Structure 1
């Protein structure tokens, strides 16, 4: 396994009827973030971008970057919640409420 690959992909759902996109690694997450509209880039976006950049530089693990990117996807309501379950050893945020 490549050090930049996620153990579990982050599934992005852009809208009803649109195909779900799987983000499998830090490079794909960084590409996704770079294409995000400039007018919608806030602190959660910046955190995810910084974490992905740190992982690419070897200063952070891919899983830490995945957590930040997953948080960004959840906040922006792009996360496909059916697959966004924590991986082994990862605790779910107690404030998390699934979208339905």
Structure 2
């Protein structure tokens, strides 16, 4: 059985929601939900790459890279740093919001 996991996740945002994309299934779900009016050439390339990786025609990392290109073009690519709360490290320790109190 082919592994369909990405070597590292992509974080894609749509509106106020950021999704962690770990594998081809996550990627295809994200692409399936893309609005018809916004589907263009890079969208089609991402779908084709995911489909081909799913059946083993191209490597998983090639599909991930194509999805990342699509996400950058559409300005939906996020990063782990954007998801984490801002933490200040000072002389006496850590301060700032770190989670629910």
Q: TM-score, normalised by structure 1?
A: 0.73
Higher strand proportion (structure 1 or 2): 2
By relative contact order (CA 8 Å, sep 6+), the higher-ranking structure is 1
Number of residue pairs matched? 80
Distance 1:5 1:70 in 2: 15
Aligned to 2:76: 78
For residue 20 of structure 1, report the CA deviation from its aligned partner.
2.4
Distance 2:29 2:18 in 1: 16
Q: TM-score, normalised by structure 2?
A: 0.72
For residue 12 of structure 1, report the CA deviation from its aligned partner.
1.1
Contact 1:4 1:56 in 2 (8 A): yes
Q: Look up the SS of the partner of 1:60 in the other structure.
A: coil
Computed over aligned residues only, the root mean square deviation of the Cα atoms, in angstroms, reads 1.6
For residue 32 of structure 1, report the CA deviation from its aligned partner.
0.8
Higher helix proportion (structure 1 or 2): 2
Distance 1:9 1:80 in 2: 11
Runs of at least 4 residues of structure 1 off by over 4 A?
none
Does residue 33 of the first structure (1) align with residue 31 of the second (2)?
yes
Alignment of 1:1-100 (within 5 A): 3-15=3-15, 18-81=16-79
Distance 1:27 1:49 in 2: 11
Q: What are structure 1's unaligned runs of at least 5 residues?
A: 84-100
Q: Which protein shows a greater Rg?
A: 2
